[in-house]
């Protein structure tokens, strides 16, 4: 897919997107009872925890510092990225070098910074917890409910578009009518642009009724923001559910800070890992892409379908 950017002024050329936030403090209630003891972010896609795939996406996009927002009870996520000398020594002594290589590839302590969110009060609250780490830099966000398989990492697509605009970017894709009430739906400034690959928005509506949806473009777990949004989120009032949502900051960001917000349609297949169905779909799809698993799995699936 080719995008035409010529008419956009690049107004933020000197600010590199070096930092990325992954909020991962929630309970993962849709995966209970499993998530009583295994955090959702550590559930496997084949033999790799989801959180590892998200971190890899960030690294492939050129991110230099990843901020994991976790709760006190979820420090096992940080441990996954820490060096495990005992395990490495054991594997080396038994000459299990391929496994040793895999284990060492998870050692990312120098790349990852942990921020504790002491109470879970919405995505906006989680992002505000990272304000002192982000400082005055633009930053990206990857949400753990959204795994995206694409040739170019989804967050890299957004970052490249950010370098063209210097503006805040929301990663979106079209969703079906039945899914519209599940997501934040963007409202384009120009109705004629809502079928294009990128457009300025005037706001977004959280989980609207189909009849009230301003478009069919849903915000799907990838963002790039200028740092000013954290100033807003750190001062914003809690909503009726005692939460702070990112979309609540959009009006002030646009009207008081005079910043544009774009919706950008990224390429890739998205799996909703906030649901058991999406988790199973992702595992099947990744397995069918695995040369060691594809043939036997295909045979197994065909046998089951013929029963």
Where in the chain are the domains?
19-272, 275-307
Q: Which CATH architecture has domain 19-272?
A: Alpha-Beta Complex (3.90)
Verify cis geometry, omega within 30 degrees of 0, for the bond prior to 292: no
HSE-up (13 A, CA, CB side) for residue 133: 22
Confidence of residue 4 (pLDDT cuts 50, 70, 90): very low
97-104 vs 85-93: helix crossing angle, rounded to 10: 160
Whole-model pTM? 0.91
- Rounded to 5 degrees, φ, ψ at 299 are -60, -45
Instruction: Give the pLDDT score at 238.
Output: 86
Confidence of residue 12 (pLDDT cuts 50, 70, 90): low
Instruction: Give the pLDDT score at 84.
Output: 95
- What is the three-class DSSP state of 118? coil
Instruction: Give the pLDDT score at 14.
Output: 58
pLDDT of 2 higher than 50: no
Alpha helices in 203-266 (DSSP H): 228-233, 250-255
Q: What is the mean pLDDT of residues 13-25?
A: 88
pLDDT digits (tens, 9 = 90+) for 83-142: 999 999 999 999 999 999 999 999 998 899 999 999 889 999 999 999 999 999 999 999
Which residue did the predictor score with more confidence, 20 or 25?
Answer: 20
Which residue did the predictor score with more confidence, 2 or 279?
Answer: 279
pLDDT of 3 higher than 70: no
Instruction: Give the pLDDT score at 13.
Output: 52
């Amino acid at each position: 897919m080719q995008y035409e950017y010529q008419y956009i002024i690049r107004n933020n050329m000197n600010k590199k997107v070096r930092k990325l936030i992954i909020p991962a403090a929630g309970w993962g209630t849709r995966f209970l009872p499993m998530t009583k003891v295994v955090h959702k972010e550590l559930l496997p896609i084949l033999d790799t925890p989801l959180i590892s795939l998200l971190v890899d996406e960030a690294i492939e996009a050129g991110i230099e510092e990843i901020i994991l927002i976790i709760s006190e009870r979820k420090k096992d996520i940080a441990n996954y990225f820490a060096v495990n000398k005992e395990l490495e020594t054991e594997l080396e002594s038994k000459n299990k070098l391929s496994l040793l290589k895999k284990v060492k590839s998870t050692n990312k302590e120098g790349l990852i910074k942990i921020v504790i969110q002491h109470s879970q009060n919405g995505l906006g609250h989680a992002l505000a917890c990272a304000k002192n780490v982000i400082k005055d830099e633009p930053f990206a966000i990857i949400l753990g409910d959204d795994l995206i398989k694409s040739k170019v990492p989804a967050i890299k697509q957004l970052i490249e578009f950010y370098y063209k605009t210097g503006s805040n970017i929301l990663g979106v894709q079209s969703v079906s009518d039945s899914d519209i009430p599940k997501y934040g739906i963007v409202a384009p400034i120009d109705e004629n642009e809502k079928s294009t690959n990128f457009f300025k928005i005037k706001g977004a509506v959280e989980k609207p009724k189909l009849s009230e949806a301003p478009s069919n473009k849903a915000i799907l777990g990838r963002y790039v923001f200028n740092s000013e949004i954290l100033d807003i989120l750190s001062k914003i009032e809690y909503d009726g559910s005692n939460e702070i949502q990112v979309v609540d900051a959009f009006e002030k960001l646009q009207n008081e800070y005079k910043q544009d917000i774009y919706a950008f349609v990224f390429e890739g297949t998205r799996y909703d890992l906030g649901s058991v169905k999406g988790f199973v779909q992702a595992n099947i799809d990744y397995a069918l892409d695995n040369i060691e698993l594809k043939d036997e799995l295909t045979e197994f699936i065909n046998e089951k379908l013929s029963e």
